[in-house]
Structure 1
């Protein structure tokens, strides 16, 4: 039969060579009678190696039983479709073949398809799907699709978890989906989706999810429409992100901010009240001490005069502290009224005032030209006055000094700086620099109240900027600040 069938089918050789699939004719005992050249390509055997051989000799041992069962069905003249088994290649490895076999009397006509590439693709897709599911689970981010025409909704596994729906129930319809959300969010969600369908614009919304056990979670839903060839919205695809933790932090932060704001307002009001109320008794002390000096000063001995001078000195210092506290309070409470400011001109005027007060100082002052910002002029005047006065003060013990106001580029906004070559300070105390009443030098060496830099920091922060300093002992200091 082998030679007879082979001879009879010789005319089919051109047809056998037209397909990449594996074609063969076998007898009902499972012996190859004729195969096409695709067998050589896929398995690596020559046609002579296969024709006349029992096909079970090439089948994986674990697949013998199902293959024999399939042959028995074929002997009974039953068509076998979609049967898969493994065949050994010439190099020893196995490939999966999918068979479609039609019996015709004592002969079997079969076509087989190599599933190796398809299986590799399927495995890669399964791996990618598994990775995607894992990534979505880790990120608490699900994906979905809404078919506008049919109303069908497709969810990834993570969406079921985020929205608290049993995956066995499958995705809900649109009306059921709305019921998952908090009643106050249902109308808003429906409006946003409706606008996306009507306008074709993507959307980004936040909703509260009501779970069956009564607890609430927050999700962020983003959707992007898909269009047909005519530009009509046919579907919306998107993501669902669990933002419960973020919303909780936002709520906690808002409460904390409100508490801090209230506390700061109370402290500022207290500081203003105390500072204001201290003026009256301080004026009384000052007045009576002056009267005491005028009426009885001639009776003071040297020690009494020294005590009295100390009282007068501390009255003046207390007055300065009260003035600075009131100024700090005004810095925190006043409304911002931004307008263009010429920093270069402002600095030049401040330096001129300092030279008038201290005409014997030899100080080289460099002011970069055309420095301008948009900010509250009163507060910026206080800021620049404090920084330049500090530079002037802390260089006063040097015979020749240099003070500079300049600007340098920053990542998001210009960085302005005031630099001097004066006393400087140890950077390990830098955290104390902007605290109220914090001083890094004693008042005998450099007088002051310790409030100026606290005011500067508040002014910068009220404008949304940052301030910091760099310094070394007796090598000067540089104060940097930004005003966005």
Structure 2
């Protein structure tokens, strides 16, 4: 046994060897170091075999053996003594007499006289064989044999560590191939936050190449708003070993920033120290944008619901599920007071509540909207008239499923209707009164008109008659000036008679009932033009399209005669008088146009054109 006293040289050698093996990167180097620790005072050469498939052995490390001897030792067959020693998993030794049976050649410095083989075991299963040889017959003391056994155990541990490293490398390669082709971005950070690895999806999302980011700290790519989250989450991640869902904003090479969530686990070394993260990133930029738009939309809708001047309510089983502030104010309730209450609270009586329920469910169960105008009870007991419209979300279950209702305040309309009814009643009485007064006034006017006509016509006839009698009696004795004076008396008395006739005709217009029948304006205009041509033969008349219309024939003839005769009269002084009569269809009306190329009139006096007994030209120029 090796003395565990720290003063034992071999203990110190083993301690240094263990420290050395921890730093050796490859299995071959570790096995050479183990052989170097064994070759010395009692061993002149050493070698290590590993077991291959079929039971054969292959030399993987050797020390103190020349090349010719190495070639002989490189392999052994399954039926050799070395193979038997390996299968037995026991220490074997050969003295000088039995070494010859191994048929080993002599070393360059002489023949071997002692040989010892220790199996390399892992969980009782042989992995290889460590052989020490000596040219001395009295080599391999008990202490040396124990020491060589420890070296064989170290070789086994080195092989196990190498196998574990190869398995880890294989797994890491498999894992690397998986995350490199993963559809989600992958990144790995060390304890300092430096980027150790990213995959193709990460490069595609953020626009950086892998070699541009490896070794850089993740904070170089984070938005400032995400730094506090990183500072709080990353230590917890290292401590707990996993992370699920923290959100960060990362700036890509180009374009707008991306919002991502992180899910992953941490890996640790054999001693439990944190090594690195393995995280998948989920791009939630678009999802957050949609969330923000939805929140804005919901806020906008809520703003509308809160401020719309229409009552809104949702019922289930005829109980209030929701209602907007305007509906609560209509019924005089505070915010939230109606929620959960039965709709009976706003009805006038139990009978009213039951009767309306039957009508409502009959309509809703058929998939129809229900509308009505109804008086409801406010919290203060006053009645309020509302227009109600509602629809069930599921006609098959109109009571169980929510139904949405709209309530419009009819108070102003009802008040206006009442005012209109009162005003109509008042207007009706006033119309009756005014009609009676108008009939009396018209009767008085008719009597007055006939009185004026009778009273004025008698002196006019006397003046006109005596003037004509004197004119005939005096005859040629009248000088020209006196004759002209008689002519003026006679002419003005006739004109006065015409005015009296016009006044009487105008007064009759309001009393004559209008008769409606088809009137051919084209035929009417042509007939009037032919009559007027007798007095104005030089006037050329042009006719356009004139319609057949419904109207009073007498009044229409009077209007057309006035317009056409004026056109003939006021165009007569020009060299070539022309009168145009045409018609046109306008929006909702027929337009008749009578124009001429006569003297015209000043447009600033157009308002007087159709006034009663108005004239825009002196009588000396145009009679009538």
TM-score (norm 1): 0.59
SS of 1:326 mapped into structure 2: coil
Aligned length: 418
> Does 2:556 align with 1:384?
yes
CA contact (8 A) 2:223 2:251 kept: yes
Counterparts of residues 43-442 of structure 1 (less than 5 Å) = 43-77=206-240, 79-91=242-254, 94-103=257-266, 106=274, 108-125=277-294, 169=336, 179=346, 197=364, 273-291=440-458, 312-326=497-511, 342-343=518-519, 345=520, 347-349=522-524, 352=527, 355-356=530-531, 359-362=534-537, 364=541, 366=543, 368=545, 371-372=547-548, 377-378=551-552, 381=553, 384-397=556-569, 398-399=571-572, 400-408=577-585, 410=586, 413=588, 415-421=590-596, 425-428=601-604, 437=612, 439=614, 441=616
Find the counterpart in structure 1 of residue 112 from structure 2.
none
Partners of 1:359 and 1:442 lie apart in 2 by 24
- The unaligned stretches of length 5 or more in structure 2 are 1-164, 269-273, 396-400, 471-485
Partners of 1:321 and 1:187 lie apart in 2 by 69
CA contact (8 A) 1:347 1:384 kept: no
Partners of 1:192 and 1:423 lie apart in 2 by 77
Displacement after TM superposition at 1:11 (Å): 0.9
Displacement after TM superposition at 1:432 (Å): 6.2
CA contact (8 A) 2:188 2:278 kept: yes
Displacement after TM superposition at 1:395 (Å): 0.9
Deviations 1:5-49 (A, max 9, x none): 786332134542555432334456545444322211122223344
Partners of 1:165 and 1:288 lie apart in 2 by 77
SS of 2:511 mapped into structure 1: helix
Find the counterpart in structure 1 of residue 45 from structure 2.
none
Counterparts of residues 6-21 of structure 1 (less than 5 Å) = 8-17=171-180, 19-21=182-184
CA contact (8 A) 1:31 1:55 kept: yes
Displacement after TM superposition at 1:76 (Å): 3.5
CA contact (8 A) 2:579 2:595 kept: yes
Partners of 1:149 and 1:383 lie apart in 2 by 71
CA contact (8 A) 1:286 1:312 kept: no
Find the counterpart in structure 2 of residue 39 from structure 1.
202
Deviations 1:59-114 (A, max 9, x none): 33443232121123223427543311222333596432222344565454432222
TM-score (norm 2): 0.48
Displacement after TM superposition at 1:439 (Å): 4.6
Give me the CA root mean square deviation: 6.1
Ranked by relative contact order (alpha carbons within 8 Å, sequence separation 6 or more), the top structure is 1
CA contact (8 A) 1:141 1:240 kept: no
Partners of 2:199 and 2:593 lie apart in 1 by 88
